[in-house]
Amino acid sequence: MERLGALVLGLLVLLTGTPASLWGQTSAVSGPEVSSDSTGTSTGHSDADQLTLQKRNPRYRVHADDVLALSFPLATEFDQPNVEVQPDGYINLLGVDSVYVQGLSAPEIVEVLKKAYAGILHDPIISVDLVDFQKPYFLASGQVGKPGQYDLRHETTVSEGIAIAGGLVPSAKTQVFLFHRVSTNWVEVKKLNLNDLLRGKNANEDAYLAPGDSIFVPEKFITKFRKYIPYGIGTSISPSPAFY
């Protein structure tokens, strides 16, 4: 059975490109039962939440207040160079009803627009471009010199992010936590030892920050944490539920 499990894991890695270590992490989920569907995507089953691991290089998904440019090369009278996503997630269109686009990527919005204009345009060619959007950022909190939100303009590791946030204060411990959102309702927690990283030990574990990641530097040593924690939409990430 162990050999069969290893073979299945190897096939999942080849088919999805997801590292084997990441597939193994799903066993540490506290709460929903985790399994793999026919596509190799890890899912958590519960009535309220479903845990799905992110794909590599995900497309940007629009938020409220983002501005889009809609182009119709064969029907320019429907062009809209500046369309703002409303607070309720809808955009107003010319000649048809408003459509909901919040949380969608540009290619997905194109498909939504094609359906919206299907009644007046035959197989329209539509282009959607981002004019103004939420800039990538990361958060640093806890025992750092300057807690707050910082722009993520280039590839930045956790240790570099801490340096950007003013470094560690004297009361800080060198074991820090990285919170990474993996789905709408779940956040993955990773523990890093800065002493090891600074000494060149396990340097490959100095994870790169993704947009929206949060670094928490505790004051007291914490030895246990839950691998995944619920993520409340519209609220800041609080590290307290992750520890016990």
Domain positions in the chain are: 2-45, 67-132, 137-237
Name beta bridge partners: 70.
80, 128
Per-residue b or e along 9-42, where b marks 16 or more CB atoms closer than 10 Å to that residue's CB: eeebbeebebeeeebebbeebeebebeeeeebeb
Of the listed ranges 100-109, 131-140, 227-236, the least confidently predicted one is 227-236
Nearest residue to 91 (alpha-carbon basis) of 128, 134, 135: 128
The dihedral sign for the CA sequence 52, 53, 58, 63: positive
Give percent of the chain with pLDDT exceeding 90. 39
Nearest residue to 26 (alpha-carbon basis) of 11, 45, 47, 2: 45
* Residue whose tokens read 């691998």: 227
For the stretch 192-225, pLDDT in tens is 888 877 776 766 778 889 888 999 999 865 545 5
Q: What is the pLDDT of residue 59?
A: 84
Burial environment of residue 160 by CB neighbours within 10 A (0 to 12, 13 to 18, 19 or more): middle
**Where residue 48 falls among pLDDT bands split at 50, 70, 90?**
very low
Q: Which tokens go with 90? A: 């809808």
Q: Are 58 and 41 in contact (CB under 8 A)?
A: no
Q: Is the pLDDT of residue 94 over 70?
A: yes
Nearest residue to 240 (alpha-carbon basis) of 106, 91, 226: 226
Nearest residue to 80 (alpha-carbon basis) of 67, 62, 99: 67
For the stretch 126-168, pLDDT in tens is 999 999 888 888 999 999 999 999 988 888 999 899 999 999 8
> Which overall architecture, per CATH, does domain 67-132 show?
2-Layer Sandwich (3.30)
Name the class of domain 137-237. alpha beta
Q: Is the pLDDT of residue 29 over 50?
A: no
Q: Which of 30-34, 111-115, 157-161 has the highest mean pLDDT?
A: 111-115
**Where residue 28 falls among pLDDT bands split at 50, 70, 90?**
very low
Nearest residue to 31 (alpha-carbon basis) of 13, 14, 12, 51: 51
Residue 57: DSSP 8-state: S
Q: What is the pLDDT of residue 224?
A: 55
**Where residue 37 falls among pLDDT bands split at 50, 70, 90?**
very low
- Residue 123's identity, in one-letter code, is D
pTM of the predicted protein model: 0.50
Q: Is the pLDDT of residue 24 over 80?
A: no
Q: Is the pLDDT of residue 175 over 70?
A: yes
